[in-house]
Amino acid sequence: MKRAFVAAIVAILLAIPSAAIAESPDHASVPVYMSLGDSLSTGVGASMPAQTGYVPLFHEYLRRNHSCEGRGAAEGCAALRLESIGVSGATTTTLLRDQLPLALAELEARNQDANPRNDVEVITIDIGGNDAFPLLQVCGGGVTAECAAAIQETFTRIAQNLTLTLTQLRAAAGPDTEIIVMTYYNPLPGCVFAPFAPLGDLILEGGPGLPAGLNDIIRAIAAGVDASVAETFGRLGVEDLVGGSDCLHADDSGYEIIADAFAQAHPD
């Protein structure tokens, strides 16, 4: 999906009252796009999170481009319903505890019944950033022994939780549901923590003293459950970040880029 196409989607969504988006009917034969994650999935930093966050943008992209014909929905996915269960501040631990049971219940009700037209068609996830962010404080002085131990503990926890989450989602959804997991961009260059931007790159992508970063873990676990990866690292510039005292979130242009990354990970 080209940036111009995403911009067109933004214009369409801005013309629709947010209540109209929230009031889509829950019919038995309506397919679903399910979103899990942290504050990025809820659109924090966007001017209108319910319309200009990456989840509603990608939802609109799927309605126009995802094919449901293989599930018996000859009309395509124009009626694709969004179920966003992401929570701002979520970690891999809280997602596993709070969001995953909701997702599994929905998948059991839809993907494991006799009706192929009401399935969850696509699942997106962004998670792990809130687990890793505290490492900046521990590792601000360099990759010391204390820093290395903190990274190992954090990455082990992320890997265990994300593996459990994706394995259970895949088992409940079945092999035909598309799962897309996001890698993280570095938000530090645009905020008050800009001097620590190289450390952010190291934690995310690895480097001297750290052979693998958070994004490498995400990629490896996704591959193990046949999930696609939306690559956002290196794609957002300072102008695509909220910045200032906000050292985490994208702005509207950043969310367009993230939505584009999910679109590129989605097979046409």
Its domain, for residue 247, covers: 3-265
- Collapsing DSSP to helix, strand or coil, 46 comes out as coil
Among residues 264, 255, 222, which one has the least CA distance to residue 55?
Answer: 255
Tokens encoding 174: 């079945």
Model's pTM, two decimal places?
A: 0.88
* pLDDT score, position 185: 98
- Collapsing DSSP to helix, strand or coil, 100 comes out as helix
* pLDDT score, position 116: 86
Alpha carbon distance 51, 14 (integer Å): 7
Q: Is 234 left (phi over 0), alpha (psi -120 to 50) or beta?
A: left
pLDDT, averaged per 10 consecutive residues of the chain (268 residues), comes to 49 42 51 97 98 98 86 66 97 98 97 92 98 96 93 98 98 97 97 96 95 97 98 98 98 98 91
Tokens encoding 202: 């190291």
195: domain CATH number is 3.40.50.1110
- Residue 88 has what DSSP assignment? T
Size of the chain in residues: 268
The number of distinct structural domains making up the chain is 1
Cβ count near 88 (within 10 Å): 15
Contact 9, 65 (CB under 8 A): no
